């Protein structure tokens, strides 16, 4: 008993720096923001700090912008199922062992591949398609690395977006999405030309078009109809970031824990690859999928700040302003911290509610 208490004491001592940090920099500010949401807390000294009860919350529910920005936030989350499916697909592919190595011809083959890449890239560069030359060069390097190091190189490369600085990738993507000079539209225009399609490339970050074809905006706003606009651009960027990140790693870990005997039994029964995937892999990964869905939903509801701040300033026409960016504008542009806190707490309650629903019904399904 004495020894157990001593162990707890030692454990707490080790945890103390982290706990203190958590309390000081997370718990206390979170509680302060809860308190602040019931007050007139402002960065304007002329506004006295007064308790207003649910005043901020009542104003919030009357605020038309809040609903529009909530809609934007939820719309951007439409990319989550695609990114989860993509992560699963990638994990299944990368779980295979790629071995291209052949002792006798390895170096010769690698040299040949390197020369092929250099030749193709230089030809495109000289022909004036510099962006396509870069694409060819990048794809070639990826192939070469795969050839050399097998699937481990792909796992590493696909995880890269996860630990690359967010601001840097946001700025990079805003260049890629440039409607006139961006790489993405250059490739799309190239494809259109080859297929003789007479259509305009998407406007991406400068367009209000949407995959649903409409926007719930006042004043009979016509968003330009069906198409790929700023929100889709942000969604694609989100899918790119999430597809090879932690989700893929979780799936890889999950796949490695599936008993091979299950697959062997299926083989004996004559199951096809698809049947193996559908009836063994997917059910066995259900707990992992459940966890990823919960975490992605939370992340999705909190997302969109970096993109709005650095790429779009919430536009065009406010269609990329998400709730997290709205919190920032209320707190630090309008100097109304109390109202900003109220938005943050409503967002928290929504996240909590959705997570509980997920937990109740999703968990039962998984079990």
Partner 1 sequence: MKGTIAIVFGGLCCLSAVAMITRPGPAFTNRLGLVRTTDSNPNRTKESEGFAALNPTLGIQLDYSSNNIQKIIVQCSSGVGPDLYDTYGGTQMQTYVSSGIAQDVTKEAKAMGFSIDGDTWPAVRGELSLEGVQYSYPANVNADILIYNKSLFDRFGVPYPKQNITWDEFFELAKKMTRGQGPTKVYGMTPLSTGLFYESMRGEIFSPDGTKLLITGKQMQKAFQMYHDLIFKYKVAPSSLDMKAMAGQGGWGSGSINQFCDGRFAMINVGKWALANFRTAHKDQLEKWEKTGKDPEKRNEVLRLGSVLLPHHAGMKPCYTVSARSVTINALGPHKKEALQFMKFLAGKEYSTIVNEAVDALPGNPKYANIGLTEGDPDLGEMEMHRNTIKAMDYGYQRRLSPFLLASDVDRILKVQISRMESDPSLNIPDLLSDAQQELEDLMQRNLDRDPKLRERYKQLTGSDRVGENR
Stretch that binds partner 1, among 42-50, 90-98, 109-117, 234-242 (CB under 8 A): 42-50
Q: How far is the CB of 16 from partner 1 (least distance, A)?
A: 16
* Token couple for 214: 């409409």
* Token couple for 186: 């250059």
CB atoms within 10 A of CB 204: 24
Q: Tell me: cis bond preceding 316? Omega within 30 of 0 counts.
A: yes
Q: How far is the CB of 147 from partner 1 (least distance, A)?
A: 34
Q: Which sign, positive or negative, has the C-alpha torsion 149, 151, 156, 157? A: positive
294, 70 contact by CB (below 8 A):
no
Q: How far is the CB of 366 from partner 1 (least distance, A)?
A: 36
Q: How far is the CB of 77 from partner 1 (least distance, A)?
A: 23
Stretch that binds partner 1, among 110-118, 122-130, 265-273, 325-333 (CB under 8 A): 325-333
Binder to partner 1 among 79, 245, 303, 318 (CB under 8 A)?
318
Site residues (CB under 8 A) for partner 1, limited to 234-293? none
334 binds partner 1 (CB under 8 A): yes
If the CB atoms of residues 7 and 175 are measured against partner 1, the closer one turns out to be: 175
# chain residues binding partner 1, by CB under 8 A: 45
Site residues (CB under 8 A) for partner 1, limited to 336-355? 336, 339
CA dihedral 338, 344, 349, 354 (to 10 degrees): 160
Stretch that binds partner 1, among 4-12, 26-34, 253-261, 335-343 (CB under 8 A): 335-343
Tokens 């096809």 sit on residue: 272
Site residues (CB under 8 A) for partner 1, limited to 111-130? none
Q: How far is the CB of 229 from partner 1 (least distance, A)?
A: 9
Q: How far is the CB of 176 from partner 1 (least distance, A)?
A: 10
CA dihedral 177, 182, 187, 190 (to 10 degrees): 130
Tokens 């109390």 sit on residue: 338
Site residues (CB under 8 A) for partner 1, limited to 46-85? 46-48, 50, 55, 59, 63-65
Site residues (CB under 8 A) for partner 1, limited to 169-228? 175, 178-182, 203, 205-208, 217-224
Give 343's contacts (C-beta < 8 A, 6+ positions apart): 60, 66, 323, 326, 327, 330
Collapse the DSSP code of 210 into the 3-class scheme (helix H, G, I; strand E, B; otherwise coil) and give the result.
strand
Collapse the DSSP code of 50 into the 3-class scheme (helix H, G, I; strand E, B; otherwise coil) and give the result.
coil
Binder to partner 1 among 150, 190, 299, 315 (CB under 8 A)?
315
| Residue 100 phi, psi (nearest 5) | -95, -10
If the CB atoms of residues 22 and 221 are measured against partner 1, the closer one turns out to be: 221
Q: How far is the CB of 12 from partner 1 (least distance, A)?
A: 19
If the CB atoms of residues 217 and 266 are measured against partner 1, the closer one turns out to be: 217
Give 282's contacts (C-beta < 8 A, 6+ positions apart): 289
Stretch that binds partner 1, among 18-26, 243-251, 297-305, 310-318 (CB under 8 A): 310-318
33 binds partner 1 (CB under 8 A): no
Collapse the DSSP code of 178 into the 3-class scheme (helix H, G, I; strand E, B; otherwise coil) and give the result.
coil
Binder to partner 1 among 17, 45, 53, 270 (CB under 8 A)?
45
What's the distance, Cα to Cα, between the start and end of the chain in Å? 37
SS3 per residue for 115-159:
HHHHHHHHHHHHCCCHHHHHHHHHHHHHHHHHHHHCHHHHHHHHH
Contacting positions for partner 1 (CB under 8 A): 40, 42-48, 50, 55, 59, 63-65, 175, 178-182, 203, 205-208, 217-224, 314-318, 329, 332-336, 339
């Amino acid at each position: 008993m004495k020894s157990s208490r001593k162990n707890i004491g030692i454990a707490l001592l080790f945890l103390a720096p982290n706990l203190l940090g958590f309390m000081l920099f997370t718990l206390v500010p979170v509680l302060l923001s809860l308190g602040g949401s019931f007050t007139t807390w402002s960065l304007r000294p002329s506004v006295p700090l007064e308790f207003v009860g649910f005043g901020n919350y009542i104003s919030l529910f009357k605020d038309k912008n809040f609903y529009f920005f909530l809609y934007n936030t939820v719309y951007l989350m439409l990319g989550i199922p695609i990114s989860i499916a993509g992560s699963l697909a990638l994990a299944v592919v990368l779980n295979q062992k790629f071995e291209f190595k052949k002792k006798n011809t390895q170096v010769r083959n690698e040299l040949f591949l390197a020369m092929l890449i250099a030749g193709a890239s230089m030809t495109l560069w000289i022909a004036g398609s510099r962006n396509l030359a870069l694409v060819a060069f990048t794809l070639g390097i990826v192939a070469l690395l795969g050839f050399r190091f097998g699937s481990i190189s792909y796992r590493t490369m696909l995880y890269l977006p996860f630990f690359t600085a967010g601001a840097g990738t946001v700025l990079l993507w805003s260049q890629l999405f440039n409607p006139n000079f961006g790489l993405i539209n250059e490739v799309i225009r190239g494809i259109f030309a080859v297929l003789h399609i007479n259509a305009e490339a998407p406007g991406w970050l400068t367009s209000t078009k949407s995959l649903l074809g409409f926007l719930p905006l006042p004043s009979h706003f016509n968003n330009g109809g069906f198409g790929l606009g700023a929100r889709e651009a942000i969604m694609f960027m989100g899918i790119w970031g999430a597809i090879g990140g932690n989700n893929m790693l979780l799936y890889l870990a999950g796949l490695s824990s599936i008993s091979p005997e299950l697959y062997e039994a299926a083989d004996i029964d004559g199951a096809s690859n698809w049947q193996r995937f559908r009836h063994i892999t997917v059910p066995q990964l259900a707990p992992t999928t459940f966890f990823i869905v919960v975490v992605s939903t939370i992340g999705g509801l909190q997302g969109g700040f970096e993109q709005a701040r650095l790429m779009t300033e919430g536009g065009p026409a406010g269609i990329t302003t998400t709730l997290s960016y709205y919190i920032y504008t209320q707190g630090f542009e309008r100097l109304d911290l109390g109202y900003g806190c109220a938005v943050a707490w409503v967002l928290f309650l929504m996240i909590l509610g959705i997570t509980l629903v997920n937990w109740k019904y999703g968990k039962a399904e998984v079990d």
